Structure 1
């Protein structure tokens, strides 16, 4: 019985721990990249439902519109408990994609393009809830490792398309419509399974925390490498149904493998507590309510609520110090947020535009379709590496040398501008391949850095809303750089080619440009814009240099942890231990309790 009770207690401790919460968040993020899957099933929508190009553009518009309602998801996260937010995300995901699947299976009358677009938009909206709440809770549970956490979480989002595709091929190898069904079911199950796991957790602050994250990182690298190899093999060899099933099974095993780390870490912590007969708990102050003294009585707090709400708009331009909790409007109208806006515009806008035209550039260079498809797949994997590595790199530089995160952003934007120049001059030997790696890595690297900067400058009180507000910059940047600029220049180059061939441009539908000159002007200008973004980021680093030289995470540290605190090693790992005064006080309390008994 004692053994059974011990196992039960350990199991209860396991699911309540923040490492299990991190594991659940990683799986949720694996199902939060529905936007990246659209290109894989859009052709199925067009061929099955018989939509023309104009109708498909309308559906794409609905999909993109879902990104603009992301800020409402952030507002919901501010007021609703995490399980409610995840439940909303699960409902949106299942309803949106199951209706899309029902339509392509002809189980309902053929919907109009706007109806299908609405279904896709509903399904694509779900990450606005699941993605946001998982990120915010993880940052609040690991505030002193937020760069690493954001990189790891966002990296898993980048693998969504590859993961879902492998699972779909294992179940419906000969039916592309099955991808939509898997997209409806797979993320929904994860949202519901970890609905009550994603929450703020009171847990130990460990000096070996970064080492544990590195172990998670290594396991996700194995997953990314496996997906990359499988993806390439599928394009160059004939793969049987059994091969797809085995591949899908391996993906599931690799997804569950981090659970072994969670069990090991909780077992070590449990053993340490048993060894010392003390329970070390660190309470993170992750909200403004926790950070303020609780001296005032409840009636007095209620009396002050109206005045604080009235002063909300009056204090928009009376902002607190960097690192303190800002209101939503204070953050939005700050000069720091303006810097972030321009950095994002120059970085995301140019990178996403190049990514969108990658296939067309390969076509212009007369590359084989299979090769272009393989390179595009590899860009997604490099995007994952960029997200994860930049999170770890910026965190290490910050911890060791107090280097502002925007310095890393500056380096990435410079590398991105070099990659864009290589795209502009693809006749250089190997330029197309080197540029693809550079673009994928640098584009992914910008994501966790910008999100970490926002959390550090403006606090975590309204991080859910500010997170989604900043992510609105991406579709805006893509619209300006892509739709209004690059596509226009490409169309002009294509018309020049048609005229050079002696044809009437008016008689040619959807003219295509061929040759290395097609994107030379547009990508050269994009490279210049990216470099300007690097200069802005460098200026931003200078502006925030003094802030990053200070102790950013002082308010998150335990009240019990002081300079004279000691540390203890257990099974090769290092864990925080109370100072001698706290130990004596705890032992005295335990002795008094025993005497009373």
Structure 2
């Protein structure tokens, strides 16, 4: 029982870590001041945002560190990297020291790398302590990473709402403080205890309660996250947000009292375990067995158990009908026959499904991230500089809701089953709508609506991506395969941000402008009009790619669900 309560303490610790280490999402809150102090162009500012995202390219280093050092060492290494990366930037922006541009670039890179290391620590803790419900644990903790900007805005308003450079100081100090707080439950991590089926269902109920608390937290931050009318009220609001983060500590107490609760109150509420590949290894084995059985009947070259020699349907090109349409070839060629089949790096890079998935992420979630990086300059160009913190909070809160919604398929699958790649396609719909709305109108209401939609869409994609990678290309290879997938983030940050910066600077020199230090500030709708149009067109490409991916993978998801239903019938 003590071990069960300690694992929930660890989950709360990972929630705290994630909630305060999404520090890249508040870049737009201080980017204008950083640009002014350094006297750089919008293109050069974009390179600093790229440097933060470029840390993800080196995210594999955290896994390498875990091979040689204990988990708590990697946690504090991440904290100190962030402390140095953001701390030096704070010294620069407050004029304590003066550094060349390349040194500031390296500091941004170090700060971005720290976020990847924090994420790795949290992923390992969730997977090792909740193997039967790791999907719910991952989606819940990753969700809180999206709320960081709103929390930092509350802290900023509670301390000094007239000093944007304060964000950098908070980014440097708070993750370090949280790491010291979280170290106790991490050091007391319990040994693995396999759960019976009823234990998995009880844990799922606990996750449902935690998701309800998380939703309340998101509503609170959405309503009060940017309130800075009064310093005292801002401090009370920040205290309320911290209290909501502390409240999940009641869960370990509920676990300890669970036996008494079950003896005195019989609940009729039953919650099935999470529905995707990471939830129940037995379901995966049954699914592979069914595939092997069908392979014997249909001639597919599949092997069950641990090794799959040929995970895709063999297509004999010489037997294809000459009149077969290109669309049919696109849908049926090299289709996945099942979920959870492990893919090596070489096999992954030859799969059509992977590149469709890559394009979907590149033209979807990555555009949302680049939008958040440029939010400060977007608001400034539209005369909304005073509302920058409000917009940052809005994006953060809706990104949080999007991340929470990514767990919806796991909760409703007993009544409505839909392939997770289909949910991904639905999640992409708000992105082109938001971008074309922003291109068509420069009003404050359009900016707020577009920002909310961008946050909602990108948040869902960020949280669902780990699960989808695990399902399509194997849970054991998810560490390597997902790191390959997210290489699109720094690439997209460079390309999309560079495009936006070129348009911004060109209109800054030819249109309405103001000079701040040696940098040019563009004013007016034209500063980002072409950028929004181009981003919107590219997001339509991502939407189309996601639809093709859904059609190609729908059969594999249906097979897996049929295997799960058959397993439940046999067990009953």
Deviation at 1:495, TM superposition (A): 5.8
Does the 8 Å CA contact 1:348/1:477 hold for their aligned counterparts? Answer: no
The yes-or-no answer on 1:215 pairing with 2:198 is no
The yes-or-no answer on 1:510 pairing with 2:504 is no
The yes-or-no answer on 1:158 pairing with 2:142 is no
Which secondary structure state, in structure 2, belongs to the residue aligned with residue 449 of structure 1?
Answer: helix
User: Using the alignment, how far apart are the partners of 1:456 and 1:206 within structure 2?
Assistant: 20
For 1:30-45, list aligned pairs within 5 A.
30-42=19-31
TM-score, normalised to structure 1's length?
Answer: 0.71
Give 1:345's aligned residue.
362
The yes-or-no answer on 1:92 pairing with 2:81 is yes
User: Using the alignment, how far apart are the partners of 2:466 and 2:418 within structure 1?
Assistant: 16
User: Using the alignment, how far apart are the partners of 2:569 and 2:396 within structure 1?
Assistant: 45
Q: In the alignment, which of 240, 251, 261 is matched to residue 250 of structure 1?
A: 240
Does the 8 Å CA contact 1:494/1:513 hold for their aligned counterparts? Answer: yes
Query: Do the aligned partners of residues 356 and 37 (structure 1) sit closer, same or farther apart at CA in structure 2, a change above 3 Å counting?
Result: closer
User: Using the alignment, how far apart are the partners of 2:136 and 2:179 within structure 1?
Assistant: 23
Instruction: Note the residue ranges of structure 2 that are not aligned, 5 or more in a row.
Output: 266-272, 286-306, 315-335
Q: In the alignment, which of 368, 375, 380 is matched to residue 396 of structure 2?
A: 380
Give 1:135's aligned residue.
123
Deviation at 1:451, TM superposition (A): 1.9
Structure 1, 245-254 or 136-145: larger mean CA deviation: 136-145
Give 2:193's aligned residue.
202
For 1:227-246, list aligned pairs within 5 A.
227-234=221-228, 237=229, 239-240=230-231, 242-246=232-236
Which secondary structure state, in structure 2, belongs to the residue aligned with residue 233 of structure 1?
Answer: coil
User: Using the alignment, how far apart are the partners of 2:117 and 2:380 within structure 1?
Assistant: 37
| Alignment deviations for residues 68-117 of structure 1 (CA, whole Å, 9 cap, x no partner) | 2223224444665533432332332334445555666777x644443344
For 1:102-113, list aligned pairs within 5 A.
110-113=98-101
Deviation at 1:157, TM superposition (A): 0.6
User: Using the alignment, how far apart are the partners of 2:21 and 2:451 within structure 1?
Assistant: 24
For 1:199-348, list aligned pairs within 5 A.
201-204=192-195, 205-234=199-228, 237=229, 239-240=230-231, 242-268=232-258, 322-348=339-365
Deviation at 1:198, TM superposition (A): 6.3
User: Using the alignment, how far apart are the partners of 1:198 and 1:325 within structure 2?
Assistant: 29
Deviation at 1:189, TM superposition (A): 3.3
What is the total number of aligned residue pairs between the two structures?
Answer: 505
TM-score, normalised to structure 2's length?
Answer: 0.74
Query: Do the aligned partners of residues 200 and 470 (structure 1) sit closer, same or farther apart at CA in structure 2, a change above 3 Å counting?
Result: farther
| Alignment deviations for residues 381-406 of structure 1 (CA, whole Å, 9 cap, x no partner) | 111111111x1223245454431111
Name which structure has the greater RCO, CA cutoff 8 Å, separation 6+.
Answer: 2
Structure 1, 52-61 or 542-551: larger mean CA deviation: 52-61
User: Using the alignment, how far apart are the partners of 1:384 and 1:489 within structure 2?
Assistant: 30
Give 2:174's aligned residue.
186
User: Using the alignment, how far apart are the partners of 1:177 and 1:434 within structure 2?
Assistant: 27
For 1:490-501, list aligned pairs within 5 A.
490-492=504-506, 497=511
Give 1:413's aligned residue.
428
Query: Do the aligned partners of residues 164 and 415 (structure 1) sit closer, same or farther apart at CA in structure 2, a change above 3 Å counting?
Result: closer
| Alignment deviations for residues 25-47 of structure 1 (CA, whole Å, 9 cap, x no partner) | 11111122121234445566667
Query: Do the aligned partners of residues 376 and 37 (structure 1) sit closer, same or farther apart at CA in structure 2, a change above 3 Å counting?
Result: closer
Computing the radius of gyration from Cα coordinates, the structure with the larger value is: 1
Instruction: Note the residue ranges of structure 1 that are not aligned, 5 or more in a row.
Output: 1-9, 276-281, 293-311, 502-507, 556-560, 567-597
